[in-house]
Amino acid sequence: MIDELLGEAEMKMDHAVEHVQGEFSTVRTGRANPAILHRVMVDYYGSATPLQQLASFSVPEPRLLVVAPYDKSAMKDIERALQASELGLNPSNDGTVIRLAFPPLTEERRIDLIRVVRHMAEEGRVAVRNVRRHTKDDIESLEGDVSEDDVRRAEDRLQEITDRHIARVDELLEHKEQELLEV
């Protein structure tokens, strides 16, 4: 029973770390990265459709992202959605593809983005700690069915799992900060 609880907790913590990693990929670093377009929704024939379902992406240069729509009639809608998104990018349409040029980040903007990324990391740490708290409560509720020593050992293992996942979030944060500071 305890092993099941710990396995479930580890799985939930893995999901929390993956979520933080996904959030980090949406932060613009001055380099072209198709992941920042995952949240862009396009009004396609009256329904909101994710951009990745309507186009393919390529990165021919480090600061250029090319969006090639599958349906050329959706070009205007895609361009409008990119302009409306809060990415700070100006799409240029040549009739067949949309080019997104990534301007270099200013020092002030880098500092703002680092602040945003640190906040995302803290939310990830809180999510991991919440999983630990709930699992610890579940383990302590078993105290009548299993020995007190087993409960203490399970709590120690739970803390090791938690520490490992928080260290992974910190590692991702450090990598993203380095990426943002890179000129």
Q: Residues 37-47: pLDDT tens digits?
A: 888 899 988 89
Task: Please tell me the total count of domains within the chain.
Answer: 2
pLDDT of residue 37: 84
Of 51, 80, 101, which residue sits at a domain end? 101
Q: Sorting pLDDT into bands at 50, 70 and 90, what band is 88?
A: confident
Q: Same domain, yes or no, for 119 and 134?
A: yes
Please tell me whether residues 9 and 38 are part of one structural domain: no
Residues 121, 160 share a domain: yes
One domain, residues 162 and 114: yes
| Domain end marker among 101, 130, 153 | 101
Of the spans 43-47, 79-83, 156-160, which averages the highest pLDDT?
156-160
Q: How far is CA 106 from CA 148, 173, 180, in A?
A: 57, 20, 11
Question: Is residue 111 predicted with pLDDT exceeding 70?
Answer: yes
CATH of the domain at 75: 3.30.1360.40
Predicted local confidence at residue 183, as pLDDT: 63
> In this predicted model, which residue has the larger pLDDT, 143 or 54?
54
Of 84, 101, 118, which one is at a domain's C-terminal end? 101
Are 144 and 158 contained in the same domain? Answer: yes
Percent of the chain's residues with pLDDT above 70? 99
- What is the extent of the structural domain holding 114? 2-26+106-181
Mean of all residue pLDDT scores within the chain: 90
pLDDT, residue 139, reads: 92
Q: What is the CATH number of the domain that holds 159?
A: 1.10.132.20
Find the mean pLDDT for residues 121-146.
94
b/e per residue, 121-149, with b = 16+ CB within 10 A?
beebbebbeebbeebbebbeeeeeeeeee
**132 pLDDT band (50/70/90 cuts)?**
very high
92 and 116 fall within a common domain: no
**Residue 180, pLDDT score:** 85
